[in-house]
Chains A and B, each alone.
Chain A
Amino acid sequence: MKKALLSVVSLFVLLAAILVINQLTITPSGELIVVNQWGGSGSGAGELSEPMGVAVDSSGFVYVADVRNARIQKFTPDGEYVLEWGRQGEGEGEFSKPVGVAIDANGDVYVSDYDIERIQKFSPEGKFLSVWGKSGKGPGEFMVAAGIGIDKKQGALYLADFYNKRVSKFTLDGKFISQIGTSGRVFSGALHYPTDAFVDGAGNVYLADSYNYRIQKFSSSGEFVNKWGGPFGLGIRGKWRGWFYVPSGVSVDGQGRIIVADSANNRVVILSPNGKYLAEWKSEGSGGLYSPTRVAVGKDNVIYVADTAQNRIVVLKYKKN
């Protein structure tokens, strides 16, 4: 009995020691610097009200889902306002809460809406092209399209189905192809309120498994590859190095680094291609992020962060690439 107790205590001490050492040796935020920011609270051109989805096209233009203003705004890579479209409503080209934005190989823009189960497709100038989607729990139906990602090579769209706790794969015109992950905790492939999907150049799919507090990676055929966040990616929240607390947005840069919007920890975290913690941006005080929900990568691996609670886009860059 005494031996068993000692074993448990020893294990506990060992785990605690690892956690403390991990925290004490955390890499400082100095790996990333802020190079630009734009927005500001409001509904005028260039102003933002709870920006969430962010995507960059092949020319470097930045598209922002401006949730409370029910519109999409397009900016130059430096943050100059270009154009906008959308207004509050349920008709074609209208939005209730546009939360997700993604761009296909032709530069067309796809927008998901939190309140209406549909994906709308627009030209890069904001001309309405098509719409699809159906509310429900069956295959190809969804309950809140929290985030979307596009496989440009395959021409497929991945949709983070928030309330059904799964990710569905569609053709770009909305035909259901397959499902990734099932509702659950802890186990590989189990999802709990996923909020974002990103597809890298090789077709690998990265999911923001927000309420399992982890990022999961799947192959283009939907097989589980890996999971990161907390001890062994089991899904325990925290602010330690390599832990997350509602990692709501994910993207991957040209070098395969995984960029995570660690929303409730108010930071952006960078992982290596195999999930090793590399760096983070978290500045306390007025320069800090509050509820960063989405990230996108632009040219030269510049990172665009939707700093949702502060109604702005923050642009981060690596000090050394």
Chain B
Amino acid sequence: MKKIMAVMTTIILTASAFTPAYGKEIVKNAGSVKSENEAFIRADGLACYFCAYGLERFFKKSGKIASYDMRLKEGIVEIGLIKGKPLVTQKELHKIVYDAGYSPRSTTYELVGKVSKNGDGYIFTVSDTGQNFSLKATDKIASVIDKTIRLKAKVDKQDGDVMYLEALEFKIITPKAMP
């Protein structure tokens, strides 16, 4: 039995060496005024220009997206969120991607704002919109409380329109001067 498994593993590894690579192109486009906040969605099936155009069509129709870069090689859509408007939730983004004919997978946000303590947990306030999000994070984040940071986070859970974030990475940044 072990021999059989070894043979099958060898064959699978040999075959996987020849698995196809994605294209290398990037499709770009832009819409309304973009904030410094972004969302990144990995979508299955996003491998050609027809898919990219399909997503563009649905993004434009939604009116909720400022810009979008499609990294077809990785199957990732980088979404610029609209300045001054509430963040588009993961649920909303996934619906757009799904309606466009693709399967949304992981979503992450990169947001500029400040962390504050809230009982045993933390709150992240987005600078651009003033929205507050409950934030799950390790105690490392205590070192940047009240400092402006760029936070990379995934959605821990979403109840209705309310998202709960989980910190993945963060770094202190210098806030941009107001015009």
A residues engaging B (CB < 8 A)? Answer: 5-6, 9, 12-13, 16, 19-20, 23, 50, 52, 67, 97, 99, 114-115, 144, 146, 162-163, 193, 195, 210-211, 237-240, 245-246, 248, 263-266, 290-291, 293, 308-309
Contacts and interface: CB of A to CB of B under 8 A. Distances in A.
Contact of A144 (B19, B49, B54, B72): B54
Given A16-B14, A16-B15, A193-B50, A309 B23 contact: yes
Contact of B47 (A52, A67, A144, A246): A246
> Which of A5, A9, A67 has the most C-beta atoms of chain B within 10 angstroms of its own C-beta?
A9
B162 interface: no
24 contacts: A6-B4, A9-B8, A12-B11, A16-B12, A16-B14, A16-B15, A20-B18, A23-B18, A50-B27, A115-B53, A115-B57, A162-B54, A210-B48, A239-B20, A245-B20, A246-B47, A263-B48, A264-B20, A264-B22, A265-B20, A293-B48, A293-B50, A308-B25, A309-B25
Nearest to A52: B49
Interface in B39-54: 45, 47-50, 53-54
Interface string B44-81: 01011110011001000000000000001000000000
Interface string B1-40: 0001001100110110011111111010000000000000
A211 B45 contact: yes
Contacts, number: 91
Given A52-B49, A291-B48, A16 B20 contact: no
A50 B52 CA distance: 12
A291 B23 contact: yes
Given A211-B45, A290-B23, A309-B24, A99 B14 contact: no
A15 to B, nearest CB: 9
Interface of B: 4, 7-8, 11-12, 14-15, 18-25, 27, 45, 47-50, 53-54, 57, 72, 101
B23 A248 contact: no
A23 B12 CA distance: 14
Contacts of B101: 163, 193
A248 B18 contact: no
A13 B20 contact: no
A9 B4 contact: yes
Contacts of A263: 23, 47-49
Given A290-B25, A309-B23, A309-B25, A12 B50 contact: no
Contacts of B12: 16
Contacts of B19: 238-239
Nearest to A24: B18
Contacts of A264: 20, 22-23, 47-48
Given A12-B11, A144-B54, 10 more contacts: A16-B12, A20-B18, A97-B53, A114-B50, A144-B57, A163-B54, A248-B48, A264-B23, A290-B25, A309-B23
Contacts of B27: 50
A291 B25 CA distance: 7
B20 A20 contact: no
Nearest to B5: A9
B131 to A, nearest CB: 32
B30 to A, nearest CB: 12
A67 B18 CA distance: 33
Nearest to A16: B11
B70 to A, nearest CB: 11
A114 B18 contact: no
A193 B18 CA distance: 25
A23 B18 CA distance: 8
Nearest to A99: B53
Contacts of A240: 18
A99 B53 CA distance: 10
A144 B47 CA distance: 17
B20 A210 contact: no
A13 B11 contact: yes
A5 B8 CA distance: 12
A52 B49 CA distance: 9
A114 to B, nearest CB: 5
